[in-house]
Amino acid sequence: MLFRKKEEIDFFQLFIRSAENSFKASNLFREAIMGTNPASYLSQIKELENIGDELTHQIFRGLNKSQVSPLAREDIMELTLRLDDVIDGLEATISRFDYLNVQHTDKYMREFSEVLMNSCDHLVSAFKLLSNKKYMQIKEHIVEINSLENEGDRLMREGIREIFTRPKDPYHDFKLKELYERMEQTTDACEDVANVLESIVLRYA
């Protein structure tokens, strides 16, 4: 009786594709924030979020099919979920511009968009290094992502402080607070990926 050889799954390449997909979404998000109608980018970013979901499913299906994996199964699952949180955060933020009917951005949002784009860029670099087992070099990107997350915290605090020290229309102020907090949560999601990568570096380096 012949047995079919199990399909080889390149988890590292799927991670890279997922990180690159998030980076592409972050570039669109940056473009949206720097433009005049952020909500008009919703469908494009939603399309990338759907691609991200499919990559997540591919990784999980691969885990079910593979007897041997390049990392602990728990690490692969955690990296996959945390990466998915990043693009979900970008989509959730741009969705809020749509259903909250926010048509204008401010300096905090513009700075947030740069933080998110740079964070996603570092994630791509980190996963490319991971695929080549260059663990020590990953640390540089982890440090940068942590620093960017701190910048996101600062932007949220300053943005909310301005809302309460210079209140305007209460409905609009509520919308701004909602957006600042959601963007900060997305920088947290990037840091969550970096934290999982750091634990892998500590065990495999």
The domain locations on the chain are 11-204
pLDDT at 7: 57
Question: What is the Cα 124 distance to its own chain's centre?
Answer: 10
Question: What is the Cα 202 distance to its own chain's centre?
Answer: 22
Cβ atoms 190, 123 nearer than 8 A: yes
**pLDDT (tens place) for every residue of the chain, 205 residues total:** 333 445 578 999 999 999 999 999 999 999 999 999 999 999 999 999 999 999 999 999 999 988 788 899 999 999 999 999 999 999 999 999 999 999 999 999 999 999 999 999 999 999 999 999 999 999 999 999 999 999 999 999 999 999 999 999 999 999 999 999 999 999 999 999 999 999 999 998 8
Q: What is the pTM of this model?
A: 0.94
What dotted CATH number matches 11-204? 1.20.58.220
Cβ atoms 91, 49 nearer than 8 A: yes
pLDDT at 69: 84
pLDDT at 9: 86
